[in-house]
Structure 1
Amino acid sequence: MADIEVAVDGRDERGPTKKRRRIVISCTECHRRKQKCDRELPCGNCRSRNKETSCFYEAGAPTAREHEAHAGLYSSEQNDDDETKQKSEPLSSVASSWGYAQSGGSSTLCFLQKIERASTADGEDALSNASAPGQASHQDTFAVREKYKGLIRLLPARMYIDQLTEIFFADLNWQYFLVEPQNFNELLEQWSNIPFRLLSSRGPEALAPDLKVFPALLFQIIATALLVLPKSLHESFESLKYAANMTFEDLAIDYSESSMSILSLLGTKSLSTTSIQTGFLRSSFLKYTANVTESWHQVGKTIRDAQELGMHRDSLDPKPKSNDVESVLLNQWQIEKRRHLYMMLGSWDIHMCLILGRPGSMNYRHGFPTLPIDARFTLASDRSKTPVIPREEGVDPPTSLTRNILLYKTMLPLRDVLDLEPEGPCPRDWSKVLKIQQSIMDIHDATPAAFRIENPDRQWDHLPELHWLHQARCLSEQMFHFTLVALHRPYIFHREESRLEVIKGSLGMLEMQKRMFEGLPPKSWKNWQLFYGSFDAVTLIASIYILFPYENAEFREIAVQHCHWTVERFATMKDMNPLAKSALGVLRAVVARLVKAVGNCAPSSSVSPPVDLLRHNSNTTTPTSTSKTFGSTPTSSVGMASIEGSFKGHSESVSSGAAIPSTAEDSTASIPTMMPSGWDVSQDANGFTSMAPYFPMADLIYKDLTVDQIDNAPPQTDSDSLLLGDSFMWQFEGGFGEDTVWQLLNQHQPSGNESG
């Protein structure tokens, strides 16, 4: 008894035994639900339950990640049993890094997550097995945090950010409306209020998904704004430069690369809507800086990221965080934002396919999400209290979203144009082409009044926030003409009506480019839209008239005029637009050959065009009004009358062995006899059936299309100054093949004005 009393007395002297407290390493939601937590922020369980905002870790007790980082990074020695304490990574996280989709209810990753949750439902012992997915070591966590801090240090001061973002929203954002000003300002305020201690101790893991990626979006916005920085502000921003002879474009490229470094650092597991906005802005930035190939690749990658987030399916739309009205309304606006972004990605994808002759990243046969609602909304509205109400046409002013929906609908027929490509220049069923053309005309007839070229609704033109309406009208009309050109371009070497449609469509594009260029300040000359429409249109017009100089005489004069004006525009903006500079020599050589083929009928640049191109387009007959057929191919009666007139007017110029075909059935077989004397055409008996598809801009970018210029060659486009004996001294060079138009034009041996 004495011994027992002594023992008791000794225990009392030592005091009560302290209860050991297990370190809580899971988030509060997983700890409460007794689920395994992957310890991300937000974790996988909270993301799957749409509880991202409820996912946080206890501040009182250190998490296992902080404890391990401190022990692994700041101590030179580790205990022998450290490796035994490190548990294996959850199989669902490993599967995610292997590429399995994180969205959708029937994916392999979803089943693995359900199995793991079921296996740990009875207790919390398995919580200690969780580790941060995608992190191979503690050093990686520290490296990510320090790298992230190093990148965000490159952001300029808030004073410069405010000025550059104002330029971006005023001059650039209206084109695609990728960034909503209200949402951006909210994120900017949240970012500005983040304490440095949080970034220094926990890094990006402590931030919400959108806020984590926000610096990348901010870098892209200020980089794009620097490209159009007015000269009056150059002196104010000189302090941002950190190297001698550095230009603002160099600084913009640096900022844009920093943006992509942040996205690469965070990886695909940190994807959010802000990530898609950033990737999209990066594509636009690459186009502005003449990196079209890189822009095409970036669009494809951004589409994949959007599909990873489930933007391609209505069934994968996010759910409200709660059942209260504010959460439901905010969630609905978030859905509209996702659908708008994916719609614009689809527009860019199909457009670049038809320009560059490259495959797209979207398979439209798998379906497409619902288009966003053209909603009535003002910047002063509170989205948590504002429902998504459709805008009333003619009553509510148009928005950038109104223009984007019109742009997408205008390009819808291009999907069917892509489906016709495998059939080549001679489709089996020509009625498919006519059906697509009719759908293009129907969509154009349904253009909202505010965006029409003819008799537009101008009641909102005076509003400062709608200063872009004039440009939007020109761009919308230009896109309509482009769809017609893209539809008929594969058939210009085989069908007269297709050549007529391409000429009229190209002239319509050039007219819209001319109108838009006249109203733009020099800082906007970098816009790639001023390049692609003009370059493709001029090369197509010139090639058609050079190869078929006796057709479409009623459009020759205005065609040569617009070609000359386009060369002048490119020469004016070549120092600001790298694409225009690279294409100027090609355009001069093409226009010189056109002038030699049909005669120089262009006045000075101060003379306005005498022909109303839109009136020509309004008189274009639909596929149902025909006078002659090529098999099942109808031909415009107006076009055929003018073509026949041009044949009669130039019959004396045709050699005695050249027979003008009286019917369209004979036109393909008689193409070589219609060509001027002096041509060396190495084609088969059927004319141009073996000619490669014609994508002028793709040849310029991918085939390095240039002009072999002799030293001290004159810059004029006058064909006589470009002749060396009986051939042109400017020859096309590049990686194009022998079956291309460029090789055919190199063989052209002019022998005087063929048009007479």
Structure 2
Amino acid sequence: MKRKTRAETSATPRKQPRQDPVSCESCRRKKLKCDRCLPCSNCASRRTDCSYGGYGPGTASLAKKAGIQTAERPSLDNTVTPPRVTQSTKTPHDRTQSRSAEDPLMTADRLENILMGHRVPSAVPAPLRKELSRHGRMHASRPHRNTASGTILGVVRGGRVASHENPATVHLPSFLPSEAEAMRLFDYYHNHLDYQYHLIIPTRTKCDIYALYESIARDKPGNLNHIALLFSILATSLFFQLLSTEPAEVAEMCSREAAFLTGAALIQSNYLAYPNTEGLQAAMIIAHHLSTLTLNPSVSSLFLHGGLVSQAKSLGLHLLDSPRTVDERRQDEHDKAETELKRRLWWDLASYDWLIGFLSGPQEWTYTIQPQHMNVHRPLNIEDDHMEYETNLPLSTPTCMSYTLCRLRLAEVCREIVDAAAPEYLQGQGIGYETVLDLDRKLQQAYSEIPAFFRFDQSSRREFACLYRERPEIAWQRAFIQQGYHSRFCRLHRQYFVRGAKDPRYSYSHVVSLQSARRVLEVKRIMDEEEPLFTPNSSCFWAVMHHVFMAAVTLLIDVCFNWDDILADRRKEEVLNACRLLSRAQQSSSVAREGINAMMGILRKHWKQEKRPDSRGQQAQVPSSPLLDASALHYQEPILPVNAIQEPKDVYFTHSAPTRDSLAQVQSTDSASAELGAASLEDLWNEMLDKSAHVGLGTPDWMDLLTELTNTTVPCE
């Protein structure tokens, strides 16, 4: 055989070895067996640097296999050993030259979100990291990883969306954040959200979370009920925490994904057939804090109020203190804290059911839970740590249950109002004024029973200033309970509000409505300006802003019907101050902005201009501004429904079916729409006030207006 010359040999490129080195450089030099980890066990024991040079700790085939497995089940915790193979057999420099400019960015993005996690900065060359950051800015519409997002934002950014999978088969542990991140979000929920309804016992829930992560660390299946409860807390915390730092769409998307995983955990645990306390807690947390209208249809039915009541009855919560159930508890050793928790859950459902019966909507003048059909003791006014002692404290002693009990008292009065007024209303008759006055006395009596630390008078605020600093949630609950009562005073006297301005027989309704509306606005001002400030901002709670808008409209209607009053100018300034309060809320919260835009659309739709005689004795139409005309249908449709605390929770916005003429009018007023977009809320209200003397808003019209404004949300408590 002819041998090749040296020149030919040098001209012929050498063949690459059939297999790339799989051991680290240190093990190859010492001729040791390498376990191909990073760092390997030999380097770790010797505390030396572990480097593979230009090669990854494994073959390309193993890398492909490991990549697929990791994509299916990402690591659950940052402390879990990272995948063995994270690099291909070619160096990053060679890959950059041989592929297009987009491929390295996608590879690095995959490494960051699926394989490498926190190790990306050291694994990707500096030029590629720079290009990757530019690539991320170009895709700013996608959510970015931050300390509040955990795994959910990371996997969504990586292209894996839980809601695209089957809820019955989705691998739930793969979407859990690290244990430390989960506890941070739990602490946020406990400190800033749980005080609204107090549906969990924090120490017990925290122990359940620790037990869940311990099971997963041992490769054991976690308790699906605990997973559902954790995901419900994550969904709520993510929404309100991201709302202050991220676009509203990002906060909604992340909370929606976590809520879907909550529903998936309930489905996989067969919760509907075998309900349990943790599953009911999870469903109630989602139902109270997030809108079920934006959730995935495959799980949204789990969080409807009717379903929650049904599951609670399946657990026997409505018979918790019946003689038979009490005897069964005496025979068996029972957990007193568990029994008290079940009482809290049942009365929370009952309170919500009765409160929404006195709000406009399909459930108006009716409720589901009948007091005669249940036997459950009221929750005790005690701290969570003392639930085993079952010692009830007087309501004058502030505890974590004080607000819940005051809210329950308000709900009971609302139920009595429904019982008294529904027969007349459902027969097509107006509610008699004597009935209104009698119900007002009941509401006033309940309001007088509010403990001193929930009052807003100067002496109470000074007396409990130290308490508010030590426990800011009590100061926030004080604001919620005040708004809840005063908004219902306005609603009770709504029918006689305008008549009371002219007819002395109904003057009490006019005075009470104005006083309550002003108190609602004053409470909101205190929320924004005085310590302790709300966290998150009170404008993020749609119930608060709904109360504020309704109070402002009440003052606006009063100016329109009393435009010739001697104090008209002062009242107009009062309305403008309320409008500025709304404007500031619009700027600080996307939730408030979208809800206010929807309610402004309804307000403009009902705003009409009367014909008045001109100088020649003929009827002339008062010229209306294009700001008011074009906006009847041209307002931004909100896309982010939010929770409620004192009233509407599941926010949806009524869709007014436009006629062909109205659509043609909108299409012909593009310039007016542009002007509307540039106009501020205060400008629009100023214009309404200037034309208030010529507004044709009859009694049926303004009653319809207030009803539609209340219907802007699905009423919830």
Partner residue, 2:578: 563
Partner residue, 1:178: 199
Which ranges of structure 1 fall in alignment gaps of 5 or more residues? 1-143, 205-210, 235-243, 598-652, 656-675, 681-694, 746-756
**Secondary structure at 1:701's aligned position in 2?**
coil
Query: In terms of mean alpha carbon deviation, does 179-188 or 160-169 score higher?
Result: 179-188
**Secondary structure at 1:450's aligned position in 2?**
helix
Partner residue, 1:712: 675
Change (3 A) 1:431 1:417: same
Q: 1:453 and 2:456 equivalent? A: yes
Pick from 375, 378, 382: which aligns with 1:376? 382
The one-character-per-residue Cα deviations of 1:497-516 (angstroms, maximum 9, x if unpaired) are 33333222222212212211
Taking the aligned partners of 2:220 and 2:170, their CA distance within structure 1 comes to 7
Partner residue, 1:409: 409
Which ranges of structure 2 fall in alignment gaps of 5 or more residues? 1-164, 501-505, 615-619, 625-646, 667-671, 707-717
Taking the aligned partners of 2:289 and 2:195, their CA distance within structure 1 comes to 15
Taking the aligned partners of 1:232 and 1:527, their CA distance within structure 2 comes to 12
Change (3 A) 1:705 1:164: farther
- 1:288/1:526 contact within 8 Å kept: no
Change (3 A) 1:726 1:491: closer
Equivalent residues in 2 for 1:342-741, closer than 5 Å: 342-359=346-363, 361-364=367-370, 366-377=372-383, 379=385, 386-392=388-394, 396=397, 398-419=398-419, 420-424=421-425, 426-427=429-430, 430-454=433-457, 455-456=459-460, 458-459=463-464, 461-462=466-467, 466-492=471-497, 496-497=506-507, 498-519=509-530, 520=533, 523-524=536-537, 525-547=539-561, 549=563, 556=571, 559-577=574-592, 579-583=594-598, 585-586=600-601, 589=604, 701-704=653-656, 710-713=673-676, 714-715=679-680, 717-718=682-683, 722=687, 740-741=701-702
The one-character-per-residue Cα deviations of 1:427-483 (angstroms, maximum 9, x if unpaired) are 475433222111111111111122121222744734766112222222111112122
Partner residue, 2:313: 307
Change (3 A) 1:323 1:741: closer
- 1:176/1:404 contact within 8 Å kept: yes
**Secondary structure at 1:250's aligned position in 2?**
helix
The one-character-per-residue Cα deviations of 1:312-357 (angstroms, maximum 9, x if unpaired) are 23455855887599x34x2x33222112112222222233343342
CA RMSD of aligned residues (A): 5.0
- 2:189/2:233 contact within 8 Å kept: yes
Taking the aligned partners of 1:345 and 1:435, their CA distance within structure 2 comes to 27
Taking the aligned partners of 1:370 and 1:530, their CA distance within structure 2 comes to 31
Taking the aligned partners of 1:185 and 1:715, their CA distance within structure 2 comes to 46
- 1:538/1:587 contact within 8 Å kept: no
Partner residue, 1:298: 304
What's the offset of the Cα at 1:405? 0.2
The one-character-per-residue Cα deviations of 1:383-432 (angstroms, maximum 9, x if unpaired) are 5xx311012455x5x12311110111023221132231442385475433
**Secondary structure at 1:468's aligned position in 2?**
helix
- 1:503/1:540 contact within 8 Å kept: yes
Change (3 A) 1:481 1:371: farther
Taking the aligned partners of 1:312 and 1:741, their CA distance within structure 2 comes to 41
What's the offset of the Cα at 1:300? 2.7
Change (3 A) 1:731 1:182: farther
Pick from 267, 271, 277: which aligns with 2:275? 271
The amino acid of 1:433's aligned partner reads V
Taking the aligned partners of 2:598 and 2:272, their CA distance within structure 1 comes to 38
The amino acid of 1:401's aligned partner reads M
Equivalent residues in 2 for 1:60-459, closer than 5 Å: 147=168, 150-194=171-215, 211-229=223-241, 247-265=250-268, 266-287=270-291, 298-315=304-321, 327-328=333-334, 330=335, 332-359=336-363, 361-364=367-370, 366-377=372-383, 379=385, 386-392=388-394, 396=397, 398-419=398-419, 420-424=421-425, 426-427=429-430, 430-454=433-457, 455-456=459-460, 458-459=463-464
The amino acid of 1:434's aligned partner reads L
Taking the aligned partners of 1:370 and 1:577, their CA distance within structure 2 comes to 38
Taking the aligned partners of 1:700 and 1:216, their CA distance within structure 2 comes to 25
What's the offset of the Cα at 1:248? 4.0
Partner residue, 2:18: none
The amino acid of 1:715's aligned partner reads S
- 2:321/2:376 contact within 8 Å kept: no
Partner residue, 1:649: none
Partner residue, 1:240: none
What's the offset of the Cα at 1:214? 1.6
- 1:571/1:584 contact within 8 Å kept: no
Taking the aligned partners of 1:445 and 1:738, their CA distance within structure 2 comes to 32
Query: In terms of mean alpha carbon deviation, does 251-260 or 701-710 score higher?
Result: 701-710
Taking the aligned partners of 2:413 and 2:590, their CA distance within structure 1 comes to 36
Change (3 A) 1:272 1:696: closer
- 2:287/2:304 contact within 8 Å kept: yes
The amino acid of 1:163's aligned partner reads R
Taking the aligned partners of 1:371 and 1:579, their CA distance within structure 2 comes to 41
- 1:357/1:698 contact within 8 Å kept: no
Q: Percent sequence identity over matched residues?
A: 16
- 1:573/1:580 contact within 8 Å kept: no
The amino acid of 1:308's aligned partner reads S
The one-character-per-residue Cα deviations of 1:243-296 (angstroms, maximum 9, x if unpaired) are x998343222111111012223424122112222112111123249989x9899
What's the offset of the Cα at 1:169? 0.5
Length-normalised TM-score, structure 2 = 0.56
What's the offset of the Cα at 1:198? 8.0
Taking the aligned partners of 2:239 and 2:558, their CA distance within structure 1 comes to 36
Query: In terms of mean alpha carbon deviation, does 402-411 or 149-158 score higher?
Result: 149-158
Partner residue, 2:131: none
Higher helix proportion (structure 1 or 2): 2
Change (3 A) 1:321 1:567: same
Partner residue, 2:145: none
What's the offset of the Cα at 1:556? 2.6
The one-character-per-residue Cα deviations of 1:723-756 (angstroms, maximum 9, x if unpaired) are 8x9999x999xxxx996439889xxxxxxxxxxx
- 2:197/2:404 contact within 8 Å kept: yes
- 2:301/2:307 contact within 8 Å kept: no
Taking the aligned partners of 1:442 and 1:582, their CA distance within structure 2 comes to 36
What's the offset of the Cα at 1:721? 7.7
Change (3 A) 1:654 1:232: closer
Length-normalised TM-score, structure 1 = 0.54
The amino acid of 2:282's aligned partner reads T
- 1:574/1:581 contact within 8 Å kept: no
